[in-house]
Amino acid sequence: MAESASPPSGFEIGHWSDLEAATGCTVVIPPPGSRCGVDVRGGGPGTRETEVIGPLSGAHDVSAVLLTGGSAFGLAAADGVTRWLAERGRGHPTPGGVVPIVPAAVLYDLAEGDPSVRPGAEQGYAACEAARPGPPERGRVGAGSGAAVGKILGRGRAVKAGIGFAAARGGQGVAVSALAAVNAFGDVIGEDGAVLAGPRDEERAVSTAELVASMPEPPDWSVVEERNTTLVCVMTDAGLDQAACSRVARMASGGVARAVDPVFSDFDGDVAFCVSSGEPQRDRFAGMVAGTLAATVTAAAIRDAVRQAAG
């Protein structure tokens, strides 16, 4: 496996950010004809159009994927993404014209900054206008503008997070990258298994998992942030059909579990997407390669999110 700095060819990523209000949205625009799958693990997700890309749905090309702040209000940003795509003739063909397919997922950032400011249609459109190929901007930007992790002791003792990115290329030349918006209840765990970003106790990070296991009674819910999420979009040029994309998205969720602890809780709305631009193949090993790399780059992107936010 070789590391890479960019998404696969043809993918574009764009952000809209309001750093003063601490919110934003991020769009991934794949090449036309790409397929998408999804894996929803968190107990409190906020999503749009995930059923149409599920493994039991009819096969549809995906036009874009939206990751957004603003909680449920932020889903309105997908309207702007849809309008931008429709103006360019990109979407599922119907007798009445193209209909863009834009799956979306939200994170809760209303407790940071100005909760009255949320991404809407104009902001989703602006993120599309800003979309570019190559390495995306990371850190406190886009959907990660108001993100934090390690919130069991309250948001005031949590650690800032944001958008992270990682990419790799397999031995067969398959490119896989992951974009992560990290707003987890739990901690981000480093490559060595230690807490990389967690709640602060005096001058050091402490383990949320250890705190949860040792608490004799529930924490003070008046200060603990109950609404959290890690959102991931995997991009690959591997030849995957829609069902294979869903399986790779599920494997990418394994990468979330490597880098976040506790994970997939009642207090998280974790969602992983996988978008494939390659011509679908019958070779099942292609999915194995893509999924293996997806888990690795997903964990790396989550760690990158907190490192970039700190920097």
The 10s digit of each residue's pLDDT in 32-73 is 999 999 999 988 899 999 999 987 777 678 999 999 999 999
Side-chain-side CA neighbours of residue 223 (13 Å)? 11
* Spatial contact of 208 and 170, defined as CB atoms under 8 Å apart: no
* Spatial contact of 240 and 9, defined as CB atoms under 8 Å apart: no
* Spatial contact of 28 and 265, defined as CB atoms under 8 Å apart: no
Residue 309 is encoded by which pair of tokens?
A: 């936010």
Could you give the CA distance from residue 270 to residue 275 in angstroms, rounded to a whole number? 17
* Spatial contact of 229 and 184, defined as CB atoms under 8 Å apart: yes
Per residue of the chain (311 residues), give pLDDT as tens. Answer: 566 678 999 999 999 999 999 999 999 999 999 999 999 998 889 999 999 998 777 767 899 999 999 999 999 999 999 999 999 999 999 999 999 999 999 999 998 889 999 999 999 999 999 999 999 999 999 999 999 999 888 888 889 999 999 999 998 889 999 999 999 999 999 999 999 998 877 667 788 888 888 888 877 776 666 689 999 999 999 999 999 999 999 999 999 999 999 999 888 999 999 999 998 888 888 889 999 999 999 999 999 999 999 97
* Spatial contact of 154 and 170, defined as CB atoms under 8 Å apart: no
Helix (H) or strand (E) holding 302: helix 284-310
Q: At residue 183, what are phi and psi to the nearest 5 degrees?
A: -140, 45
* Spatial contact of 19 and 118, defined as CB atoms under 8 Å apart: no
Domains and CATH numbers, the chain: 2-310 (3.60.70.12)
Beta bridge partners of 27: 14, 66
Question: CA torsion, points 134, 10, 123, 39, in degrees to nearest 10?
Answer: -100
* Spatial contact of 113 and 22, defined as CB atoms under 8 Å apart: yes
Q: Give me the numbers of helices (H) and strands (E) for the chain, helices first please.
A: 5, 18
User: What's the 3-state SS for 88-132?
Assistant: CCCCECCCCCCECCCCEEECCCCCCCCCCCCCCHHHHHHHHHCCE
Could you give the CA distance from residue 13 to residue 1 in angstroms, rounded to a whole number? 23
Helix (H) or strand (E) holding 168: strand 163-169
* Spatial contact of 148 and 157, defined as CB atoms under 8 Å apart: no
Please write the tens of the pLDDT for every residue from 62-117.
999 999 999 999 999 999 999 999 999 999 999 999 999 999 999 999 988 899 99
Residue type, 47: T
Question: CA torsion, points 153, 195, 234, 176, in degrees to nearest 10?
Answer: 170
Q: What is the DSSP letter of 236?
A: E
Whole-Å CA distances, 141 to 20, 80, 180, 184, 303: 11, 19, 12, 16, 15
Helix, strand, or coil (residue 310): helix
Residue 99's Cβ-count burial label (10 Å; 0-12, 13-18, 19+) is middle
